[in-house]
């Protein structure tokens, strides 16, 4: 039985995604955001309510996804990383299929998928550590496929529904949906088509996109916690003062394109090459501009924000490999030579594995060692408090003593002020709970618990001069 090109591509994307990320499956912590998602998802899986019992600034979607996986994966962190890799592989496949349907040849579409996987798997803060963008890009790519494949209103409704699911993972998906709507209207104007029909299709997508968020709102209304949900999810986001300078934005903007310079070159060549199908270039430009706006608006120089942009970035860059050889700029022809190209990919893969081994396997996993130490002594019902490394909660099967799981929310003034956190009240809660163990980063320099710790705790372990564990005296 001969396998179709699509089945082959899907298999390749999934295998490549796992292979280039395999070594990153095993550390207990790559990034604090991922640890936060796992801890809160664990609480949600146990019946606690997000934004009421445990609080973060992200929408509820990522926590529902991980809570659903909890029954299958338990506390095996490598399993969640494997799922993230498979999500990336599936996203690359959907991007490939969308491009094929839009008219890209096999080389351009397949290359776009491969580029997307590589971009997500090179740097810790730019995709290796799974984040919300890892998941919502899957739904954006699915919407893109429906958008280009079908013309019925039902398909546009379904595409909007997928965007809506992405929206409740992170609200910036609004800009991906806006790109599709703008492109619809742009095409109708350019081709002297029916603008009203294009607007109706765009509104149909918007209606579909609103459904998941409406369900979330309805849930919080039903349980009587809408005000708290709205404050933590929406109001807080507008309370962070933006003091970023133009230079900050400029550096953040160019850092991404320089970090991925080879792909940046391909992206620019594809954008400027008039031989490439006009609709591909037009949509790629609209999509890229709007997503870059969503990346830059928050003013935070977080690398993972750019994962959203990696979809349109790959969408256009892949077209370079679909150009006829005579249309490839002379100074880039070497990139299309199979011997050179495959050799470079091989060298990149080996170097990548070596660097990942150095970053993720050779370094002592002190957070896991701390959790292992605690698990030797913890009894059912014992409580713990950890100042920084919330993954310890997940690895010991415990939940935090305060609602604010991510360390920055409880320790940084900008978050404390924006979220109106009564720090003294929360500290009193921790002290009243009398946890058996308290875990702090080494050297211990926090003064919030200094007196309480000195009166009631004694140091029992120093894990690699990274964390210090205190046990209650009585």
270 found inside a domain:
yes
Name the DSSP class of 42: H
Same domain, 213 and 304: yes
pLDDT, one tens digit per residue, over 151-201 is: 899 999 999 999 999 999 999 999 999 999 999 988 887 765 688 888 999
Mean pLDDT, rounded, of the chain: 92
311 and 439 both lie in a single domain: no
Same domain, 325 and 422: no
Residue 470, pLDDT above cutoff 50 = yes
Whole-structure pTM value: 0.95
The answer to whether residue 383 scores a pLDDT higher than 90 is: yes
Q: Find the domain containing 118 and state its range.
A: 5-337
Task: Establish if 235 belongs to a structural domain.
Answer: yes
Q: Tokens standing for 359?
A: 């970053």
**Helical spans, DSSP H, in 390-473:** 391-396, 407-411, 413-418, 423-433, 450-456
Q: Residue 411, Cβ neighbours under 10 Å: how many?
A: 15
Same domain membership, residue 287 and residue 168: yes
- Which tens digits make up the pLDDT trace of 19-43? 999 999 999 999 889 999 999 999 9
Query: For residue 98, what are the contacts with CB-CB under 8 A and spacing of at least 6?
Result: 141, 144, 145, 147, 148, 149
Out of 286-295, 300-309, 417-426, the most confident range is 286-295
Residues 423 and 284 in one domain: no
85 to 24, 99, 129, 134: CA distances (angstroms): 10, 21, 10, 9
pLDDT > 70: what percent of the chain?
98
Task: Specify if 358 maps to a domain.
Answer: no
- What tokens does 87 get? 């999500």
pLDDT tens by residue, 332-371: 888 888 888 888 888 888 988 888 999 899 999 999 999 9
Q: Tell me how far CA of residue 139 lies from CA of 88, 135, 236, 244, in angstroms.
A: 11, 7, 26, 31
Residue 136 lies in a domain: yes
459: in domain: yes
Question: Within this chain, do residues 269 and 403 fall inside the same structural domain, yes or no?
Answer: no
H or E stretch including 184?
Answer: helix 173-190
Same domain for 305 and 217, yes or no, is yes
Choose one of 337, 356, 374: the last residue of a domain. Answer: 337
Q: Which pLDDT score is estimated for 196?
A: 84
Question: Are 407 and 299 members of one domain?
Answer: no
Indicate the residue among 337, 356, 385 that finishes a domain. 337
pLDDT for 1:
46
Q: 90-139, pLDDT tens digit by residue?
A: 999 999 999 999 999 999 999 999 999 999 999 989 999 999 999 999 99
- Answer whether residue 285 is part of any domain: yes
* Residues 216 and 281 occupy one common structural domain: yes
Kindly report, residue by residue over 240-260, the tens digit of the pLDDT. 766 677 888 888 999 999 999
Of the candidates 298, 322, 337, which is a domain's last residue?
337
Whether residue 356 is contained in a domain is answered as no
Compute the distance between CA of residue 96 and CA of residue 454 in angstroms, rounded to an integer: 60
Same structural domain, 282 and 377 = no
At residue 140, does pLDDT exceed 80?
yes
CA–CA distance, 109 with 277 (Å, rounded to integer): 13
pLDDT value at position 293? 94
Is residue 294 domain-shared with residue 379, that is, in the same domain? no
| Cβ proximity of 392 and 370 under 8 Å | yes
Average pLDDT over residues 49-69: 95
- The pLDDT value recorded for residue 241 is 63
**Residue 468 forms part of a structural domain:** yes
At residue 3 the predicted structure's pLDDT band, cuts being 50, 70 and 90, is low
375 and 422 in a common domain: yes
Query: Based on the structure, what is the number of domains in the chain?
Result: 2
């Amino acid at each position: 039985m001969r396998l179709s090109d699509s089945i082959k591509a899907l298999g390749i994307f999934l295998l490549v995604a796992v292979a280039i990320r395999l070594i990153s499956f095993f550390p207990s912590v790559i990034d604090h955001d991922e640890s936060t998602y796992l801890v809160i998802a664990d609480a949600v899986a146990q019946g606690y309510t997000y934004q009421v019992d445990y609080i973060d600034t992200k929408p509820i979607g990522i926590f529902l996804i991980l809570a659903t996986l909890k029954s299958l994966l338990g506390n095996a962190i490598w399993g969640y990383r494997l799922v993230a890799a498979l999500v990336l592989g599936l996203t690359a496949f959907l991007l490939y299929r969308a491009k094929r349907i839009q008219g890209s040849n096999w080389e351009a579409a397949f290359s776009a998928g491969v580029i997307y996987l590589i971009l997500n798997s090179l740097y810790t803060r730019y995709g290796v550590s799974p984040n919300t963008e890892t998941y919502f890009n899957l739904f954006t790519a699915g919407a893109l496929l429906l958008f280009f494949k079908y013309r019925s209103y039902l398909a546009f409704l379904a595409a909007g529904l997928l965007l809506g699911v992405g929206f409740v993972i992170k609200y910036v998906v609004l800009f991906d949906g806006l790109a599709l709507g703008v492109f619809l209207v742009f095409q109708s104007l350019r081709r002297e088509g029916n603008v009203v029909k294009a607007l109706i299709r765009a509104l149909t997508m918007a209606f579909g996109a609103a459904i998941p968020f409406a369900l979330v709102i309805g849930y919080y209304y039903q349980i009587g916690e809408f005000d708290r949900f709205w404050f933590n999810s929406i109001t807080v986001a507008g309370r962070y003062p933006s003091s970023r300078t133009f230079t900050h934005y400029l550096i953040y903007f160019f850092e991404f394109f320089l970090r991925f310079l080879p792909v940046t070159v391909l992206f620019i060549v594809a954008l400027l090459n008039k031989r490439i199908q006009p609709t591909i270039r037009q949509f790629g430009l609209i999509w890229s501009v709007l997503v870059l706006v969503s990346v830059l608006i928050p003013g935070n120089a977080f690398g993972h924000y750019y994962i959203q942009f990696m979809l349109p970035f790959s969408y256009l860059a892949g077209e370079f490999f679909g150009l006829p050889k005579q249309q490839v700029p002379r100074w880039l022809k070497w990139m299309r030579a199979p011997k050179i190209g495959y050799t470079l990919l091989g060298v990149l893969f080996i170097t990548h594995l070596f660097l990942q081994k150095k970053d993720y396997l050779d370094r002592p996993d002190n957070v896991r060692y701390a959790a292992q130490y605690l698990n030797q002594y913890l009894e059912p019902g014992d409580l713990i408090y950890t100042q920084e490394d919330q993954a310890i909660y997940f690895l010991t099967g415990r939940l935090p003593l305060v609602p604010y799981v991510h360390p920055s929310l409880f320790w940084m003034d900008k978050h404390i002020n924006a979220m109106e956190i009564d720090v003294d009240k929360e500290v009193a809660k921790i002290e009243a709970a009398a946890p058996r163990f308290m875990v702090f980063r080494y050297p211990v320099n926090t003064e919030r618990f200094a007196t309480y710790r000195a009166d009631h705790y004694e140091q029992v372990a120093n894990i690699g001069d990274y964390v210090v564990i205190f046990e209650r005296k009585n």
